[in-house]
């Protein structure tokens, strides 16, 4: 009984399990059917109802962002006149699609030369070979010229595509790259497009684009995807050549980034064909003058063709730079220098002269008010602008630097206030050179205090200061001690005034002048005359200085011993609504380089400079500056120089450098001036003084 019961129970459980299986399976089939039906409905919804939408999605498949250059900022003078601006001009622009083959570039180039008047460029041999190989038939022909050995490397593997192409260029014959004018035009366009990055706009033509050509481009957009018209710009100079050399230059779209700095610019987000400042202010203020590029969204279809381009971010013109120089005053100073120098030429005294240079500074702020350089070609007598010569050409200046020698004496505590010393011809023993004397006193003995020494320009007083620095007193026939260290001491003081040191001007490439240090020969023996040269240094007849250094030197004296850096840039300015000079973004602060030592004695030098012009001593050297619109303080300079005689290699021609440094007025000085005229026959015309006086008068008229 019991066993029978359990058998029946097991049989019933198996029956119940079997009855549940078909139900679960049927339910699973139903779920699958519902999901499959949903998928069919969804596909029908996408492929039938929204077919057009998704076809467009495929057609307009890829979107990229491209950038276009914005106009460069402008450079203004102190009064707001434009010195460097932008001249807009229409341009034809091509945006190269991604993956474009050389044959496709060739085809586009041919199309463009059919509708544009293109000028053939100067093309290199490699450019011409690239153009020839762009044709697929030519490429195939060149490949046939490769030997089996050339096709593989040393390991027997096929060479890379780059190595193969290099070999192919070598297989192109000179005869195959002899093209007529029309082909050279196509090759010029090919070179431009071929050298561009994908999706980077490249200018095809930006000179003399006609309305007809613009219309033709508009009609050809469908046939030549990527072509468009736009605006380009050139730098223009409304004031002509005035200050051109310090303003600098900008690269063209064709030349793009300078090769030696390309990697650095690319890291900053530049494209290879971007225009950048190449020199001076354009380069120095590149981050400011550079505009903010506009951004456009470019849509590309399945054929990698540009179908649509829409601007999404507007570009912004670069910020502007404003100078401290008023162009009208600059032109007046340039006219003063040129007119007087031409008088020297007319008088026959500038036959061997390099030119003439003048710098005008505000001694309290360092503002450069004018900087004029005039280069003279002795062969042709041609005069050309050499503004940069004021910072990168150095000359022996003569006695203008005697104020710094006096201050060296005060610094070393060897010169009591207004100490009296005897001006007399100095005769030294072997190795010191000829007899050394002052120009005004070549035979007698004249007692002078410090102010008098500056007034009459005593060379001997300065030499005796240096003798004291050597630790000796003068006596006839003495030998000079071997104290080359005094060179460093004296030059150290000179540098406090900017002589022989960087002035700190906000322009690149300034020279510090020449300060010889070759005191000893290869055996360690003191070279003959070197200690005598130290005496020459004391009155400005040894080291060389730039006109800008001389201007900073006299400005430091005028400014009570505070040396400030010259500056040509007053500030950076934004654009106003019309694109002109707007509100200041950054105003350059006056930069104090240093204060001179022994400042408490600077008044002695100031008094001496005042007496050079306005004193009562008949021997004073600056009388020609009297009677102007300012009461001027000044120091004159004459340095004896020589050049090889072009007519006799065994002879020299003795010349002089004529110089002047000056400031005015005595209290609260407004301007400091340096003038130097190198290598003239003589300075009997005193044109360095005439130039200086006229510059002060011109500034007075400009200010009032």
Whole-angstrom distance, CA of residue 143 vs CA of residue 165:
9
**Spatial separation of the C-alpha atoms in residues 42 and 48, rounded to whole Å:** 10
In contact, 400 and 661? CB cutoff 8 Å: yes
Residues 588-607, buried b or exposed e (16+ Cβ, 10 A)? beeeebbebbbeebbebbbb
Q: Is 19 an annotated catalytic residue?
A: no
**611 close to 619: Cβ distance less than 8 angstroms:** no
Instruction: Report the C-alpha gap between 517 and 411 in whole angstroms.
Output: 23
Residue pointed to by tokens 């003063």: 336
The sign of the dihedral angle between the CA atoms of 436, 441, 446, 449 is: negative
429-437, Cβ contacts within 8 angstroms, sequence gap of 24 or more = 429/477, 429/478, 429/479, 429/480, 430/479, 431/479, 431/480, 431/528, 431/529, 431/531, 431/532, 432/479, 432/480, 432/529, 432/531, 432/532, 432/535, 433/529, 433/532, 436/460, 436/463, 436/532, 436/535
For every residue of 338-396, DSSP letters joined together read HHHHHHHHHTT--TT--EEEEEEE-TTT-BEEEEEEEEE-TTT--EEE-TTHHHH--B-
d(Cα 326, Cα 519) in Å, to the nearest integer? Answer: 45
Q: Is the peptide bond between 258 and the residue preceding it cis, with omega within 30 degrees of 0? A: no
The dihedral of CA 544, 550, 554, 559: what is its sign? negative
Element (H, E) at 322: strand 320-323
**Residue 682 vs residues 165, 344, 398, 544, 685: alpha-carbon distances, Å:** 67, 10, 14, 19, 8
Rg of the chain over Cα atoms, rounded to whole angstroms, equals: 40
SS3 633: strand
Structure tokens at 497: 């005034």
Tokens linked to 290: 């550079």
Euclidean distance between CA atoms 146 and 143, whole angstroms: 5
Name the strand (E) or helix (H) holding 89. strand 82-95
Q: Tell me which long-range contacts 626-632 makes (C-beta under 8 A, separation of at least 24).
A: 628/693, 628/696, 628/697, 628/700, 629/696, 629/697, 629/700, 629/701, 630/664, 630/665, 630/696, 630/697, 630/700, 631/664, 631/665, 631/666, 632/662, 632/663, 632/664, 632/692, 632/693, 632/696
Single out the catalytic residue among 399, 457, 658, 659. Answer: 399
**Where does 65-149 have alpha helices with state H?**
102-115, 125-134, 136-144
Q: Are 676 and 688 in contact, with CB atoms under 8 Å apart?
A: yes
Contact 273, 200 (CB under 8 A): yes
Q: How far is C-alpha 100 from the geometric centre of its chain's CA atoms? A: 37
> Helix crossing, 547-558 with 402-411: angle to 10°?
50
Q: Which residues pair with 359 in a beta bridge?
A: 371, 674
φ and ψ at residue 500, rounded to 5 degrees: 80, 10
Catalytic residue IDs: 399
């Amino acid at each position: 009984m019991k066993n029978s019961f359990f058998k029946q129970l097991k049989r019933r459980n198996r029956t119940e399990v079997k009855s549940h299986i078909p139900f679960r399976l049927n339910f699973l089939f139903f779920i699958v059917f519902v999901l499959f039906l949903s998928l069919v409905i969804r596909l029908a919804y996408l492929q039938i109802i929204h077919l057009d939408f998704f076809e467009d999605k495929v057609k307009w498949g890829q979107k990229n962002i491209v950038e276009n250059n914005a106009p460069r900022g402008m450079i203004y003078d102190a009064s707001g006149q434009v010195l460097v601006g932008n001249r807009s001009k229409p341009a034809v622009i091509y945006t190269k699609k991604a993956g474009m083959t050389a044959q496709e570039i060739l085809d586009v180039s041919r199309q463009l030369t059919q509708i544009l008047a293109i000028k053939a460029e100067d093309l290199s041999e490699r450019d011409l070979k690239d153009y020839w190989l762009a044709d697929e038939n030519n490429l195939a022909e060149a490949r046939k010229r490769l030997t089996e050995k050339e096709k593989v490397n040393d390991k027997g593997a096929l060479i890379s595509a780059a190595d193969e192409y290099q070999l192919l260029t070598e297989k192109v014959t000179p005869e195959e790259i002899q093209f007529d004018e029309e082909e050279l035009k196509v090759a010029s366009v090919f070179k431009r497009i071929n050298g561009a990055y994908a999706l980077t706009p490249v200018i095809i033509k930006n000179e003399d684009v006609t309305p007809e050509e613009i219309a033709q481009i508009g009609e050809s957009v469908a046939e030549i995807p990527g072509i468009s018209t736009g605006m380009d710009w050139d730098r223009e100079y409304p004031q002509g050549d005035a200050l051109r050399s310090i303003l600098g230059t900008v690269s063209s779209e064709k030349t793009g980034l300078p090769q030696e700095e390309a990697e650095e610019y690319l890291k900053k987000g530049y494209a290879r064909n971007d225009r950048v400042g190449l020199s001076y202010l354009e380069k120095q203020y590149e981050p400011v003058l550079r505009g903010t590029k506009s951004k456009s969204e470019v849509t590309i279809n399945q054929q990698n063709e540009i179908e649509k381009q829409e601007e999404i971010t507007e570009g912004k013109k670069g910020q502007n730079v404003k100078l401290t120089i008023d162009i009208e005053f600059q032109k007046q100073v340039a006219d003063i220098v040129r007119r007087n120098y031409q008088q020297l030429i007319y008088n026959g005294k500038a036959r061997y002269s390099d030119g003439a240079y003048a710098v005008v500074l505000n001694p309290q702020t360092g503002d450069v008010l004018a900087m004029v350089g005039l280069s003279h070609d002795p062969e042709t007598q041609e005069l050309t602008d050499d503004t940069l010569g004021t910072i990168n050409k150095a000359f022996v200046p003569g006695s203008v630097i005697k104020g710094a020698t006096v201050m060296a004496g005060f610094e070393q505590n060897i010169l009591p206030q207004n100490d009296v010393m005897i001006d007399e011809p100095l005769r030294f023993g072997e190795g010191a050179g000829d007899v050394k004397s002052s120009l005004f006193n070549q035979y007698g003995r004249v007692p002078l205090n410090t102010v008098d020494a500056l007034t009459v320009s005593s060379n001997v007083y300065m030499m005796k200061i240096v003798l004291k620095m050597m630790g000796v007193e003068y006596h006839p026939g003495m030998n000079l001690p071997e104290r080359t260290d005094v060179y460093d001491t004296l030059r150290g003081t000179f540098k406090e005034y900017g002589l022989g040191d960087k002035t700190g001007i906000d322009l690149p490439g300034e020279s510090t002048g020449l300060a010889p240090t070759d005191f000893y020969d290869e055996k360690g023996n003191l070279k003959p005359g070197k200690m005598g040269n130290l005496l020459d240094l004391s009155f400005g007849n040894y080291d060389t200085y730039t006109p800008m250094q001389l201007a900073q030197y006299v400005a430091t004296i005028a400014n009570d011993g505070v040396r400030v850096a010259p500056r040509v840039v007053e500030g950076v300015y934004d654009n106003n609504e019309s694109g002109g000079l707007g509100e200041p973004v950054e105003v350059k602060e006056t930069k104090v380089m240093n204060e001179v030592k022994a400042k408490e004695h600077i008044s002695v030098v100031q008094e001496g400079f005042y007496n050079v012009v306005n004193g009562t001593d008949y021997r004073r050297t600056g009388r020609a500056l009297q009677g102007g619109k300012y009461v001027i303080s000044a120091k004159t300079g004459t340095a004896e120089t020589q050049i090889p005689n072009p007519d006799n290699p065994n002879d020299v021609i003795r010349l002089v450098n004529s110089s002047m440094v000056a400031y005015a007025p005595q209290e609260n000085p407004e301007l400091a001036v340096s003038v130097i005229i190198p290598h003239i026959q003589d300075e009997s015309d005193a044109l360095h003084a005439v130039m200086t006086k006229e510059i002060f008068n011109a500034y007075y008229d400009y200010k009032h």
